[in-house]
Amino acid sequence: MKTLLPAAILFCGLFNAVNRAPAQTWTQATNAPIGNWHSVASSADGNNLIAAVEFGGVYISTNSGVTWTQVTGLPNAAWISVASSADGSKLEAVSFGGEGIFLSTDSGAHWRVANLPNETWFSIASSADGSKLVAAAYFDSSHANPGPIYTSANYGISWISCDVPSNNWNGVASSADGKVLAAVARGNSPNAFGPFYTSTNSGLNWNSNNVPAELWSAVAMSADGNKLMAVALNGPIYGSTNSGITWNSINSPSTTNWLSVTSSADGTKFTAEVFGGGIYTSLDFGVTWLTNNAPNTNWAGVTMSADGNKLVSVTYGDGIYTQYSIPSPLLSILPSNTNLVVSWLISSTNFVLQQSSDLISWSSITNTPALNLTNLNNELCLSPTNASGFFRLISQ
């Protein structure tokens, strides 16, 4: 059965859309074990998930977090961070206790350990296709001194040490193409404020940002790397709309202990969570925030689908929670040489593109859209006609 949802209708390149606030109901996964969860990552459509629980294993879900299965072939370790490619086939899991970084290219069926120094790894991020990775360590191999940052451009087969000062790196983020990177640190001692660095050439060069040193916890960015948002334990949130060139303090809720942040692919939605508090979502880059009605607990990691309509959050000492809201994607139409490209952000619900000449009779376009891995948009290239036309999306 197909249900028509509010979506954009295009005529000669013009469109309108319906904006929706996130759903206000969180559902706890019933078969995810209770434990000290640290991190969760999502495929672009939100269907495939990976989550890490300290000394409890790495778990995957293929149904948007309804059920979870522990992966095999991994050691019992202090799992601290995970990452996923857009299709969910390339996965990474990071151990804080020195066991290393493990990688899978078959959705978690098999794993191999990365050829990296025995640092105290803390965070990892992936490009959309999974080929480019950035990994940051909290300590070096001595497990006492500040750690380095490494990058890989070949699915983690080989790695390069980045020319960036060692620090207690606490979080990293990557654009969809892996060119724009961001790294935040908590400082060289437990209570010291740390720096913020970005790169626009896949980690070859790094720039120290004009942002106050803080107890930075995490950073997230849009797929194109233009919009970034960083959260700190001591309260502030900062945002950038130009890949980190300039930064502004975000009008955030009056709270502290911000621990995690995630972004939709287009950067219109950012969700941040508080350790020992709630979860907040902004639809206007931090001008206003919605509380999400999430329970006050020790939130430890959050991720969302590319369209921001599927949210998954893990807790330290509790379980895994999910939230879903009905998507209403925007359609866009642009000329490309002699053709037209109709595109929409990959959705957490399956949609089919339809066309009409009179807004009465509609026919589905059977061409399979291509996923643009630089912005996570579904794109269809169509031959233009001399007649007026209308397009809409219908859910399957």
Do 316 and 333 reside in the same domain of the chain? no
Question: What's residue 23's pLDDT?
Answer: 44
Do the domain assignments include residue 89?
yes
Do the domain assignments include residue 18?
no
Question: What's residue 12's pLDDT?
Answer: 33
Unique residue bearing structure tokens 């109901």: 25
Question: What's residue 22's pLDDT?
Answer: 43
Do 122 and 226 reside in the same domain of the chain? yes
- Read off the pLDDT of residues 60-76 as tens digits, 9 standing for 90 and up: 999 999 999 999 999 99
Question: What's residue 189's pLDDT?
Answer: 60
Do 119 and 211 reside in the same domain of the chain? yes
Do the domain assignments include residue 118?
yes
Do the domain assignments include residue 19?
no
Do 302 and 343 reside in the same domain of the chain? no
Question: What's residue 24's pLDDT?
Answer: 61
Question: What's residue 14's pLDDT?
Answer: 31
- Of 300, 324, 348, the residue at which a domain comes to its end is 324
Cα–Cα distances (Å) from 149 to 41, 62, 203, in that order, read 20, 31, 9
Distance of CA 18 to the CA centre of its chain: 23
Do 314 and 344 reside in the same domain of the chain? no
β-pair partners for 219: 230
Do 130 and 216 reside in the same domain of the chain? yes
Do the domain assignments include residue 10?
no
Do 317 and 341 reside in the same domain of the chain? no
- Read off the pLDDT of residues 366-387 as tens digits, 9 standing for 90 and up: 999 999 999 999 999 988 776 7
Instruction: Indicate which CATH number applies to the domain containing 43.
Output: 2.130.10.10
Do the domain assignments include residue 301?
yes
Do 219 and 350 reside in the same domain of the chain? no
Domain span including residue 267: 27-324
Rounded to a whole number of angstroms, the distance between the first and last alpha carbons of the chain is 7
- Of 286, 305, 324, the residue at which a domain comes to its end is 324
Do 318 and 347 reside in the same domain of the chain? no
User: In which region does residue 241 sit, left (phi positive, over 0), alpha (psi from -120 to 50) or beta (all else)?
Assistant: alpha
| Residues in the chain with pLDDT values less than 50 | 1-23
- Of 307, 324, 341, the residue at which a domain comes to its end is 324
Do 191 and 299 reside in the same domain of the chain? yes
Question: What's residue 6's pLDDT?
Answer: 31
Do 31 and 55 reside in the same domain of the chain? yes
Question: What's residue 209's pLDDT?
Answer: 82
- Read off the pLDDT of residues 356-368 as tens digits, 9 standing for 90 and up: 989 999 999 999 9
Do 275 and 290 reside in the same domain of the chain? yes
Number of domains, the chain: 2
